[in-house]
Amino acid sequence: MARRPPATNEVPERILDVDVSSEMRDSFLEYAYSVIYSRALPDARDGLKPVQRRILFQMAQMGLRPDRGHVKSARVVGDVMGRLHPHGDSAIYDALVRMAQPFAMRLPMIDGQGNFGDLDSGPAAMRYTEARLAQPAMRMTESLDEDVIDFRPNYDGREIEPDVLPAAIPNLLVNGAAGIAVGMATNMAPHNLGEVVAAARHLLTDPSASLDDLMRFIPGPDLPSGGRIVGLDGIREAYATGRGSFRVRATAKIEPGQRGKHTITVTELPYNVGPERVVERVKDLIDSKKIQGLAGKPDDLTDMDTAGLQLVFEVKAGFSPEAVLEQLYKLTPMEDSFAINAVALVNGRPRTLGLKELLEVFLDHRITVTRRRTNFRLGKARDRLHLVDGLLIAVLNIDEVIAVIRSSDDAAQARERLMTIFDLTELQANHILDMPLRRLTRFSQIELEKERDELRRTIEGLEAILATDASLRAVVSEELAAVALELGTPRRTVLLADAGLPVFATAAAAASAQIEMPDAPTWVLLSSTGQLARTTDELPPTSDGPRGSHDVVVSSAPATTRGDVLLITDRGRAVRTSVLDLPSLPTTSGAPSLAGGVQVSELAALESGERVIAVAPARTDGPGLALGTTRGVVKRVRPDDVPMRADSWSLIALDPGDLVCGAVWLPTGNEDLVFVSSDAQLLRFSANAVRPQGRSAGGMVGVKLAGGQSAVAFSAVAASDERALVITIAGSTAALPGTVPGSAKVTPLAVYPAKGRATGGVRVQKFRSGEDTLTLAWVGLGPARAAGPTGQPVELPDVDERRDATGLPPSGPVAAVGGAAAPVWA
């Protein structure tokens, strides 16, 4: 068959020879850059990947604020995909879901409604779920319309999108990140917002701060699921180099069961580990007989998740529950490792960053945002002041202005004549011509003068912010503090220096080892965040020692290694616990770190709302325990009235609504008892004025309180000890607790005279304007150390020798104060 000749209008073929290796290299580099920069790695400034940033930006543009209703997730995904992120709806929805999961992010950015999945199962389809921005996302996107960041064209050039969000939250550290790029990956652990903000504020004031200084505020990650981090060396390595690892253990407590058995109840699992995964693994181990000591068949394992996570394992009689728990840690996902690889984009390039570098990049970004926002507001205020000055000229010369306008042929001539006669600019003249007649009243003149004065004060304040770097940094620090107060939550993850005591194979071996362990003197410590630990330091640790932590000791008791201590609660109960159940802190040259403690809720069965306020020795000799209540009742409990076999018992018969506000063991009985009331009155009287009573007694009047007032502190101090201090924090009953620092006063106890029991006190602090109550008080041996709601250190003012004076603002809200760990034992 003859071939058809080529058409005359066809373009002749052109074949270019290309080197395959060169083409592969160029194409691979282009693809790798696209993945690294546009998809997989977060920006170190706002801690977001591009898809996350686009979701938050688009939702802010859609007005999906927390005070408005939810919308279908499919609508959000569609808008994001059509306008900003052309990579498919599944990637967008996956990112949206993760930002709504409280077990995935320490501070969720999306408020989701519907089934957003859990650790063992995925979410419902986007057409079934609904979403809106959470409050933290509002902080990430605020001031977008004030020229604080740069925008760039979207993928098709029809829209614009932000290069980075303003990010008032250190999101990369708080929420962490995970992503796999080409040739590199990132994996960062979440942290506590209050701790990160405290470290950032410290770095603002001291840019030369060392890593150890910063780790005083950020001792380690704070995972959304809680758990216990075992071993802190890898964390410090990660903070120093950007690479490191640590182990996370489930939180479990051992409880006595029936017929000599014990149960192991797991309430928290490692980060990203679901309960079904643990249960299935345990069932496999029991079937294969690789785990010993668990009673029941695989189907008998209980997952009671109606009130939070509860995995219950029953231990066979004769087996040590500690040994079984250790097997669970070793063979199941109840212990997992987390490898930190802190890779993020800095100026468009991937870098491995340590803790200080991460904070520095975020703070540099916030300083830039604050400067640009201040410049924008300053320009707006100056422009408005310029127009207001012109309007005032017109109002003050209204008859002449009207005459000029009426005698002009057109608006252009009127504008020129106004500019010439009244020395106005073109903007002012145009604004006067556009001025409505209703502005020609005397009241409008008063309004304009008031607005002018306000604008001048605003401009002066904005110029002061831009005048020095220190003032700019102060604004950034204040805004970070406000974010921490608004969004901060207590620490969830317990940090342990090591795994704790050795685990024995059987109960008999454990008992034998307990007998062999020397019954050495030890100190049991209670921290302000509810952690318990023991230490073998010879001297009671003081609050100003190098703890390496952010916590303070609020109570302590001497004990022995094989002895018991009593946990005293605000409901007037004593709960016995074994000292051996407490983690041992390493002996140090100074005070130990309480980051290695265990939460009291893991050792004591507390009622709803009940909290442990003190620890005391379980002794049947000596003067006994002194209790003070919020209604001013004082009681000394006879030490011989302690039930030797009971695990818990009542110490005082409380009236309805009354609570114990302080509990102290008296070593001699000659101490002074001290009450501090909410209206800033202090009463000091001898403990000899209070006769010991049995457990069923209700005590006696300790301090006479004014109507509506309550006791906020009770303590006991040796009368002759010159180290005794009184610390009071004043605030307002109208303010939410922990939202404002108030004013603090530190005074020697010696300046307050002793009085009789059941009398009124003397004033300990004078309230400032707006203050009407003491929100916190403390009496003990100095030097004193304060902590915030999440345990972060708070600086107190210097000692004030005046008995009755106003306080000074501390560096932040004070939630607890600690001094010498054993105020009456020294």
Instruction: Give the span between the Cα atoms of 47 and 711, in whole angstroms.
Output: 46
Token digits for 301?
A: 């394992």
From the candidates 128, 239, 329, 752, which is the catalytic residue? 128
| Sequence-distant contacts of 442-448: CB under 8 A, at least 24 apart | 444/395, 445/392, 445/395, 445/396, 448/388, 448/391, 448/392, 448/395
CA distances 710 to 188, 373, 572, Å, are 46, 46, 17
- Name 688's Cβ contacts closer than 8 Å, sequence gap at least 6: 669, 670
Quick one: how many helices (H) and strands (E) in the chain? Answer: 18, 40
Strand, helix or coil for residue 802: coil
Q: Percent helix, strand and coil across the chain, each rounded to 5?
A: 30, 25, 45
- DSSP assigned state of 601: G
Token digits for 264?
A: 């192991």
Known catalytic membership, residue 93:
no
The pairing of beta strand 681-686 with beta strand 762-763: antiparallel
Instruction: Give the span between the Cα atoms of 53 and 50, in whole angstroms.
Output: 5
- Name 19's Cβ contacts closer than 8 Å, sequence gap at least 6: none
CB 121 within 8 Å of CB 68: no
Looking at the DSSP bridge assignments, the partners of residue 746 are 727, 799
Mark 264-279 as b/e (b = at least 16 C-beta within 10 Å): bbbbbbbbbbbbebbb
Rounded (10°) angle between helices 89-100 and 50-61: 80
Question: 């990430």: which residue's tokens?
Answer: 140
Could you write out the DSSP letters of every residue in 61-79?
Answer: HTT--TTS--EEHHHHHHH
CB 295 within 8 Å of CB 314: yes
Strand, helix or coil for residue 297: coil
The pairing of beta strand 494-496 with beta strand 228-230: parallel
Instruction: Give the span between the Cα atoms of 62 and 72, in whole angstroms.
Output: 12
Instruction: Give the span between the Cα atoms of 342 and 237, in whole angstroms.
Output: 12
Token digits for 312?
A: 């219950």
Q: What positions carry a catalytic annotation? A: 128
